[in-house]
């Protein structure tokens, strides 16, 4: 049985109020004015950290931009602050999004990676993807741990990788990046 992510209703949240939420093992996001609270599970964190390390090493060696983990917030509007599990901002867009060191990044990342949690509703995931693409995201990967599957989203297409020997690529966002799914799902 799938449980729904707990939400905390409120009319408006400032950056300071969001930043002061407890560090209690939950991931907090603001979606259309509604505060979402999702738990972090071990396998979720392991896959996110593994993928972030692989991608960050790739991007750093080519000076492509910055990768972020799930604690970084992207403010898309007054009532939307999202924290993808892994995200990438290209060098070309970094100065535009990094408005102040003590603020959320202002806009959407170029690449969004969401690792599905059992508590997340697909309606929320779909809404997040819609908002990301509306605000400049060019590529999104939705990782389903249970099915060992990656759904690849662009503004006009969806592709599914379902075999552990399938190769995930970075497309135009991360040219030259290639990684077999087994590297993501199976510990070394």
Give the span between the Cα atoms of 118 and 86, in whole angstroms: 18
* 3-18: pLDDT as tens digits: 444 555 555 677 777 7
Give the span between the Cα atoms of 131 and 57, in whole angstroms: 28
Quick one: average pLDDT of 127-153? Answer: 96
123 and 117 Cβ atoms separated by less than 8 Å? no
* 70-122: pLDDT as tens digits: 888 999 998 899 999 999 999 999 989 988 777 899 999 999 999 998 777 88
| Structural domains of the chain in order of their starting residue, each with its CATH number | 7-185 (3.90.1570.10)
Q: What are phi and psi of 122, to 5 degrees?
A: -65, -30
Question: What end-to-end distance do the CA atoms of the chain give, in Å?
Answer: 31
Beta pairing partners, 115: 143
Three-state SS string across 44-111, please? HHHHHHHHHHHHHHHHHHHCCEEEEECCCCEEEECCEEECCCEEEEEHHHHHHHCCCCCCCEECCCCE
Quick one: average pLDDT of 147-168? Answer: 96
**How, if at all, do strands 65-69 and 34-39 pair?**
unpaired
Sequence-separated (6 or more) residues with CB below 8 Å from residue 180: 164, 165, 166, 167, 168
Question: Which pLDDT does position 15 carry in this prediction?
Answer: 73
* 28-79: pLDDT as tens digits: 788 888 888 877 777 778 898 899 999 999 999 999 999 998 888 999 998 8
Question: Which pLDDT does position 4 carry in this prediction?
Answer: 44
User: Residue 172 above 50 pLDDT?
Assistant: yes
Question: Which pLDDT does position 44 carry in this prediction?
Answer: 77
Question: Which pLDDT does position 2 carry in this prediction?
Answer: 38
Q: What is the CA radius of gyration of the chain?
A: 16
What's the pTM?
Answer: 0.87
User: Residue 151 above 70 pLDDT?
Assistant: yes
Question: Which pLDDT does position 150 carry in this prediction?
Answer: 97
Two structure tokens written together for 138: 């060019």
Two structure tokens written together for 91: 């060098």
């Amino acid at each position: 049985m799938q449980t729904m992510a707990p939400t905390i209703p409120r009319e408006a949240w400032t950056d300071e109020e969001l930043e002061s939420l407890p560090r209690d093992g939950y991931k907090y996001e603001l979606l259309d004015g509604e505060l979402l609270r999702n738990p972090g599970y071990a396998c979720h964190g392991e896959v996110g950290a593994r993928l972030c390390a692989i991608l960050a090493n790739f991007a750093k060696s080519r000076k492509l931009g910055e990768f972020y983990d799930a604690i970084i917030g992207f403010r898309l509007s007054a009532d939307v602050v999202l924290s993808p599990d892994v995200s990438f901002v290209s060098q070309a867009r970094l100065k535009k999004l990094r408005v102040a060191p003590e603020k959320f990044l202002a806009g959407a990342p170029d690449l969004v990676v969401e690792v599905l949690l059992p508590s997340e509703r697909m309606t929320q995931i779909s809404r997040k993807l819609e908002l990301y693409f509306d605000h400049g995201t060019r590529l999104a990967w939705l990782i389903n741990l249970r099915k060992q599957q990656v759904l690849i989203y662009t503004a006009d297409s969806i592709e599914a990788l379902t075999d552990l020997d399938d190769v995930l690529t970075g497309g135009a966002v991360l040219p030259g990046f290639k990684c077999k799914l087994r590297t993501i799902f199976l510990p070394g």
